[in-house]
Amino acid sequence: MNESNPFFSIVIPTRNEARDISATLESILANQPGDYEVIVVDASEDDTPDIIRKIGDPRFHLLKQDNRDGRCGARNQGIRAARGEVVVILNADVLLPADFLARLRPHYEGDADFVIVNSFVENWRHPFGAMVEAEHRHLYKSGREKVNWCEGFSCRRSCALQVGLFPEKLPVAICAGEDAVFGENMAQRFRKKFDPNMAVSHHVPEDFAAFWSQRVGRGEGASQRRLLLDGWSFTRAFFDGLWWSIKGVAWILLLIPMARYARTLNHQLPEVPTRRFLFPLFLSRLGHEIGRWKGFLCLWRLRSTVHAPGGVAR
């Protein structure tokens, strides 16, 4: 493979990522062999494009996002433009180890259609990062969730096209949960390889406002998924959200369930005292429930245009 015919196409959606993007691009540059291209699809208002241009490597391509479909639309634009057989989808704060592509390639020279790798939070010593890292370890080890998406996700480009890429052209841009849906669609049709010995790192926001915004966004994504992707009615989504919110408020106010879960996380990350998990857990659960209703009300106002693959939300 050569520059005009790369094996890997690395797609990165960016929006005001000047703080993180340099380290991500440098981690890619450290990978050998160099039979890859990097496609950054950008919708920034900060210095992100200038940072990308300064790389000065012909394998790096900067595309201005040509749609209003958020992260989904940016990823789809990058995948459509990709020339590689395999697409690696990264967020702007993900760091690849220097041997990542070299270790990934044999999976695709075998029978894998998409590959799930491990990840870790590089700033896990911060309380917010510690919570996210401990939850990640808990979910991976407990088997409570089917792992069909990850930081450092990759798949054959042809498979991504066959499952219809990420959801776009919806009344609102999906802000969370779309990657899980994409992974589930892949798992229904194609062969997965899980390599827990490969791991990428990523950064969790340490600033209160940024962490809160991230948690609220995940809650918004929960409502968006149910109404726009799963085809739930507004009535069903309302009562489901009400049930989860009641449980969430009880979980917070009773303290004992939250304290028990903090202890569970401490077992996964014993370097961090149990008490340091409590405030991040409180913010995470509260932000998620506020986001759930924020997303629901936004779509309720747009209900005349809300359509889903399974029908029209009512």
Residue 124 belongs to some domain of the structure: yes
Residue 301 belongs to some domain of the structure: yes
Residue 66 belongs to some domain of the structure: yes
**What is the domain count for the chain?**
2
Cα within 13 Å of Cα(257), Cβ side: 10
Tell me, yes or no, whether 119 and 224 share the same domain: no
Tell me, yes or no, whether 78 and 130 share the same domain: yes
Residue 135 belongs to some domain of the structure: yes
Tell me, yes or no, whether 222 and 113 share the same domain: no
Per residue of the chain (314 residues), give pLDDT as tens: 345 579 999 999 999 998 899 999 999 999 988 899 999 999 999 999 999 999 989 999 999 999 999 999 999 999 999 999 999 999 999 999 999 999 999 999 999 999 999 999 999 999 999 999 999 999 877 666 678 999 999 999 999 999 999 999 999 999 999 999 999 999 999 999 999 999 999 999 999 999 999 999 999 999 999 999 999 999 999 999 999 999 999 998 989 999 999 999 999 999 999 999 999 999 999 999 999 999 999 999 998 877 544 444 43
CATH code assigned at 181: 3.90.550.10
Tell me, yes or no, whether 279 and 256 share the same domain: yes
Range of the domain at 270: 208-312
Residue 141 belongs to some domain of the structure: yes
Tell me, yes or no, whether 127 and 189 share the same domain: yes
Beta pairing partners, 120 = 201
pLDDT of residue 5: 74
pLDDT of residue 85: 96
**Residues 100 and 31: beta-carbon distance below 8 Å:** yes
Domain boundary pick from 181, 202, 223 = 202
Domain boundary pick from 156, 171, 202 = 202
Tell me, yes or no, whether 307 and 225 share the same domain: yes
pLDDT of residue 305: 77
Tell me, yes or no, whether 194 and 222 share the same domain: no
Tell me, yes or no, whether 21 and 149 share the same domain: yes
Tell me, yes or no, whether 213 and 197 share the same domain: no
Residue 2 belongs to some domain of the structure: no
Residue 49 belongs to some domain of the structure: yes
What is the pTM assigned to this prediction?
A: 0.91
Domain boundary pick from 202, 231, 251 = 202
Distance CA 234, CA 245 (A): 16
Residue 36 belongs to some domain of the structure: yes
Tell me, yes or no, whether 156 and 54 share the same domain: yes
Tell me, yes or no, whether 175 and 213 share the same domain: no
Tell me, yes or no, whether 183 and 214 share the same domain: no
Distance CA 31, CA 86 (A): 16
pLDDT of residue 1: 39
